[in-house]
Structure 1
Amino acid sequence: MKKILLTLSLLLSLNLGLAACSAPVEEKKETASESTQVEKMKLQVDETNIKTDENGIFKITGKATPNAIVSIDQPAKKVTADADGKFELEGQIPSEKSHEVKILAQKDALEELEKSLTITPHDQYVQKVLAKKEQEEKEIRAKAEAVQTADSLIAKAKASLNPTDLAKARTYINENQYLAIQGYSAQLTQINDAITAKQDQIAQDKAKKAAEAKQAEDARRVAEAKQAEDARRAAEAKKAEEDRKQAERKPSRGNTIPSQGNNQQPPAPDKNQQTVLITATGSKYHARKCGNGTYYTATLAEAKSKNLSPCSKCY
């Protein structure tokens, strides 16, 4: 009996010892399992359908892994979640239409986590954007019309080389809000130079014509003076011939001595038939050559008929 009791006592002690040794081992196994568990990225958003305010501003709020970087693609924005994982992203919608936004959470070696959101613009913001686009399109059309008008005015000034047309083009460009005079300065300068060259050429042509006209007038006066001189000489020759013939027709009276009572003086010569010298373009008549030029003989009457006055050196 004693042997049986001793045997039971030994078995009981052995079981208690085994139980005591096996308990810590199980705790260690559980702790190791917990330490090898992998941390996963967290990303939660408060709303997946977000509407902007009247200025197109939107806000995205939520919670992610603490200190994770949270970002969106359109428009590009990013923030860092706080120690509790809370974050807030704010931006302005890029257009007047609803569009999908990708939100991404990143942190070190953790696997990225991405979600999709829809952002819808406020009705008032849509109206603002559309009005702005309409105004921009209107300005684009106005600028195009201004450029077309400026090009037309410049082309007209270039073709006409008229200072008035050039002034109109320059004034239009200066006063138009959509145009810059610097962009047209080269063309305007070129046209102005062409106008100046044209005006110089016109002045040269006018001076040339005036010189030719004066030369022609001088030649005409010379021709008239020569013609008058030739006529005068022909008249003198004719008169001399007539006088000679008349003298030949008179009967010879012999050596008749004139009566003492007939003491008549020969008639005084007619001063208007006095011979003087004139030039083709001069305003004086001369008794002799007293200067440079071509001189022609003429009667005093002819000189006076041409409104010529006596030379102070000769008379």
Structure 2
Amino acid sequence: MTPAATPELHVDEAELVTNEQGEAAITGQTNPEAQLTINGVEVSLADETFSYTVQLQDEEEQEFSLQASMGGSTKEEVVTVKPSRAFLASLQAERQEQAALEKAETALALAESQPNQKNYDEAVTLIHALSKTYEDLATRLAVVEEHLAIGKALDTAEASLERSDFDQAKELVAQAVLNKETFEGRLSTVETKISEKEAEALVAEAVQAVEAAEAEPTKDTLARAEDAVARLKTPDEELATRTKTVAQTIAANEQAAAQAKAEEERQAAAAVPEQSQPAAASNQAQTSVLVTPTGSKYHTRKCGNGTYTPATLAEAQSRGLTPCAKCFP
């Protein structure tokens, strides 16, 4: 009986050193018809040669078992793979990067839970010190930065109580991701204070307008006072009453002025006859009429029998004569 053939198995190097990435290629030869495994993994052959790349995961050297099987017989070899200095350095750098990453993530988590400038600045410093760019960390950091911007806008609105600052803060709060409910609560408080401030300003403006109308009661000052009182957010009965009083004063002043004007016109009319009396007397002294010695009338012409002589109208009237009905129809 012919004994079973024993496979051949040769490795090019029994000890290997990895590259910087921790990789090494195990190479050698065996029978083309043999079945080759390395650490239990079947390796394909190129005729009688083989090449298989292995990867170290840490700084420890590792042994790889090679088995070539053929016709019931097996031959084994062992290859030792050691980490190179470059790979050890990269492992150390990777560990340092991982430690730095964990520290940065811890700082970022603190900035997210307690978003203030100090925590944000620390997270920024640690994240920027990383040797790689981590998009998720950058996105989360941007959210914290937006949170701080919203907080500053609210601080400004709370300090100024101006409607423009409130509107800007409100727009930012609508986009908030962190602590949105807290921001909305602060925003509501600011809006209440601004409304109170605006209401106080309207009251002060109304009081000033009413006082001006009281000091100088005219239709223009009254109109400004009534408009200011109407714009009050809460009706003010006292100011409304004072504007009505101003209106009554204006009406009384107008009535008094009308009465004074009427009296002036009446007095002027009454003065006209008195002023015309001297002129009438002068006309009477110059007007010529005809009279008779025994008649009771004066005439402008001879309108009957008798002796007519000329006389002035004043002379005729002084004798008690009256105008003739025919001459003075």
Q: Please report the TM-score for the alignment, with normalisation by the length of structure 1.
A: 0.45
Q: Please report the TM-score for the alignment, with normalisation by the length of structure 2.
A: 0.44
